[in-house]
Structure 1
Amino acid sequence: MDALEEIFGKTAQMTVLKNLILHRNESTYLSGIAEETGLSHSSVARVISPLIKCGIVIEKPLGKQIRTFRLNLEDERTQLILEFYNRLNRMAKDQ
């Protein structure tokens, strides 16, 4: 369990967010997130929707049926989350 999970618990949304943080400079697919996190495709689809609505995640269609996702690094909330995540991990390493 990492420092983020110790504070907020291990939820599907936290797992997806952490996966996107770890791959912050890449676009990915729902199936890619599902495979890397061990969550079902439907769980990833369900928990990524609020992240898209609030602007933390950007969704881009690729063709008619495929969608890609990535962190919105320009969003102020995303920047705060990344700063918090990085600082929290540094503090955990120092302990």
Structure 2
Amino acid sequence: MDSMEKIFGKTAQMTVLKNLIENQDEPTYLSGIAEETGLSHSSVSRVITPLILSGVVREKPLGKQIRTFQLNTEIEATNVIIDFYNKINQIID
């Protein structure tokens, strides 16, 4: 169990957010997130929607059916989340 799970519990949305933080420099796909996290494609799709609506995650279409996702580091909220994630991992292990 990692430090974020110790504090907030293990949820699909937290798992997806952690994956995006750990891979923040690279855009990814729903299937890539699902594969890396062990979550189903439908679970990732369901929990990424609120992250997109909040602006924390940026969605970009790639063709007609493919969408890519990446953290939106242009907004302060995302940077606060990343900073918190990094600091909490240093403190709690």
SS in 2 for 1:25: coil
Equivalences for residues 3-82 of structure 1 within 5 A: 3-82=3-82
Over 2 Å off, 4+ runs: none
The CA distance in 1 between the partners of 2:5 and 2:90, in whole Å, is: 15
> Could you tell me how far 1:63 is from its partner in structure 2?
0.1
Which one-letter code corresponds to 2:90 in the other structure?
R
Amino acid at match of 1:65: Q
Question: Which stretches in structure 1 are left out of the alignment for 5+ residues?
Answer: none
What are the ranges of 5 or more consecutive residues in structure 2 without an aligned counterpart?
Answer: none
> 2: distance between equivalents of 1:89 and 1:46?
26
TM-score w.r.t. structure 1 length? 0.96
Q: CA RMSD in A?
A: 0.6
Distance (Å, rounded) in 2 between the aligned partners of 1:81 and 1:45: 21
Q: CA offset at residue 40 of structure 1?
A: 0.3
C-alpha distance in 2 between matches for 1:12 and 1:61: 23
2:83: which partner in 1? 83
Counterpart code for 1:91 = I
